[in-house]
Amino acid sequence: MGLPLLLRVLPLIALRSSASGDTTAAIGTFADVNTECKTCPHSLCPNILAYEQGESANVTCWTRGTRIIDTTLWLRSTSDCYVTEYDLNDNITDYTSALPYCGPDSEDEVLTLEDATLKYKTECRICPSISCDTVTFLKEETDVELTCWTPDGQVIIDDPYWMRTTNNCYVAQKNLYSKPDITNLDPCGPIPYLEIEKHFNENGTSDIDKRDAAPEPEVFAPSYLINATVGEDYALCRSCAKETCRVKRRYMFDQEVWLQCLVNTNGTWWSETTDFCYVKNSDFWQSPEGDYYRNPLCEYFEEPGTGPGDGDD
C-alpha cells in the first residue's frame, strides 16, 4: 500500500528509525533564513544546531512552542532539536497532518537562569558580535537574567564571552559587574548570524520570550566599549559634558581610555568613559563620533529599550 497522497506530493521524504525500531516518515525541507535548532521549542532554549539559509533539514514530528510572528508550530528534526516553522520553507502547508505530534512533554521549556547586573551601558544584540543588530539599549545598574553563555563571541577589550538574557539577546560578559558562574548555565550552542529584519517577532510572545527591537541606525550599528588614546598633555574627565562641570579624573598623554557613549553639547562632542565621567573628543587622537566608530549616544540608554531613530550622529 503506497504512502498517503499528502506525503507523496511533499518535496522530499526520508525514513528514520526510532529508538523502538519502528520506521517513521521524515519530511525534507530547508531553512528560508539563518535559524537555530533548539533543545526545546522556545526561543530562549539553547541551540543544538545552527542552520544557514538554504540548508536542508528533515523533520519528524510537530509540537507547540513560542509564538514566532503568526505561528506556535515547531518541528523536531532528525537531529533531535526543534526549529520554528516560520523559518522553514513554506511549501508544506500542513505539517500537523503530514507528521505526528511529538507529545505533550515536547512542549516543556527547560532553562537555566542566573541573575546579573550591568556595570556599563550595554547594547543587547541579536547575536554575540557588534556587527549584529541591537535589540535593546540597557543602562548601567540594570539587572538582567542570564540563560546561557558562549565563548565564541566578539572579543570586547580582552573577553570573548557573551551571555544570552531573557530579553532574547546577548550582552558581553565584560559589561557585567562580575563573571557569572557558567557551571550553573547551559552553553548557548552554535549561533548563526541573525538579523532583526528577518527575526523580529512583531506580534510578541510570552513575557520571557519577547524580543522588542529598537529602531536601527541608518548605516552602521553602534559599537560600545571602544578605546581611544589621549592626544593632549592631559584630558580632564568631568562629571557632566560641559566645561563648567567638576573634574573627576585626569587622563595623561597617550593613555588608553575606554568609552561608552557620546554626548553632543552645543556642537561639542564628549564621550562618557568607563569611569562614568566625560572627556571632550578633541582631547583624543581619534574621533569617537566619526563613522569608523559609530559609538551610540548616551541618551539611547536613558530609557531601557529605546534607541536611535535617525542614526548615531
pLDDT at 19 over 60: no
pLDDT at 217 over 70: no
The pLDDT confidence band at residue 25, using thresholds 50, 70 and 90, is confident
Locus of grid cell 528560508: 32
Please state, rounded to an integer, the average pLDDT across all residues of the chain. Answer: 82
Report yes or no on 220 lying in a domain.
no
- Looking at 107, 142, 169, the residue that finishes a domain is 107
Same domain, 239 and 287: yes
How many domains does the chain fold into?
3
The pLDDT confidence band at residue 294, using thresholds 50, 70 and 90, is low
User: For residue 152, what is the domain's CATH number?
Assistant: 2.30.30.40
Identify the residue with better confidence: 221 or 32. Answer: 32
- pLDDT above 90 covers a percentage of the chain that reads 60
In the DSSP assignment, the letter for residue 95 is H
- Structure confidence at residue 213 (pLDDT): 37
- Structure confidence at residue 5 (pLDDT): 39
- Structure confidence at residue 92 (pLDDT): 67
Question: Nearest to residue 265, comparing CAs of 242, 284, 288, 247?
Answer: 242
Report yes or no on 151 lying in a domain.
yes
In the DSSP assignment, the letter for residue 197 is H
Report yes or no on 216 lying in a domain.
no
User: pLDDT of 105-119, one tens digit each?
Assistant: 999 999 999 999 999
In the DSSP assignment, the letter for residue 96 is H
Range with lowest mean pLDDT among 3-17, 139-153, 187-201, 241-255 = 3-17
> What residues have CB less than 8 Å from 19, skipping those under 6 apart?
none
Report yes or no on 67 lying in a domain.
yes
User: pLDDT of 191-211, one tens digit each?
Assistant: 999 988 887 664 444 444 544
In the DSSP assignment, the letter for residue 288 is T
The pLDDT confidence band at residue 7, using thresholds 50, 70 and 90, is very low
- Neighbour tally for 310: CB within 10 Å: 8
- Neighbour tally for 231: CB within 10 Å: 13
Residue 160 is part of which domain span?
A: 114-209
Same domain, 285 and 237: yes
- Looking at 48, 81, 107, the residue that finishes a domain is 107
Report yes or no on 313 lying in a domain.
no
- Structure confidence at residue 38 (pLDDT): 97
Same domain, 13 and 62: yes
pLDDT at 61 over 50: yes
Report yes or no on 306 lying in a domain.
no
- Structure confidence at residue 89 (pLDDT): 86
Same domain, 194 and 250: no
Same domain, 122 and 192: yes
Same domain, 251 and 182: no
- Structure confidence at residue 247 (pLDDT): 95
Asked if 271 and 307 count as a contact pair (C-beta separation under 8 A), the reply is no
Rounded to two decimals, what is the model's pTM?
Answer: 0.78
Report yes or no on 304 lying in a domain.
no
User: pLDDT of 143-182, one tens digit each?
Assistant: 999 999 999 999 998 999 999 999 899 999 999 999 999 9
- What's the grid cell of residue 69? 510572528
**Residue range 241-248: mean pLDDT, rounded:** 94
Q: From residue 59, give the alpha-carbon distance in Å to each of 45, 83, 103, 222, 291.
A: 18, 9, 15, 38, 45
Identify the residue with better confidence: 48 or 92. Answer: 48
- Structure confidence at residue 144 (pLDDT): 95
pLDDT at 31 over 90: yes
**Residue range 187-191: mean pLDDT, rounded:** 97
The pLDDT confidence band at residue 216, using thresholds 50, 70 and 90, is very low
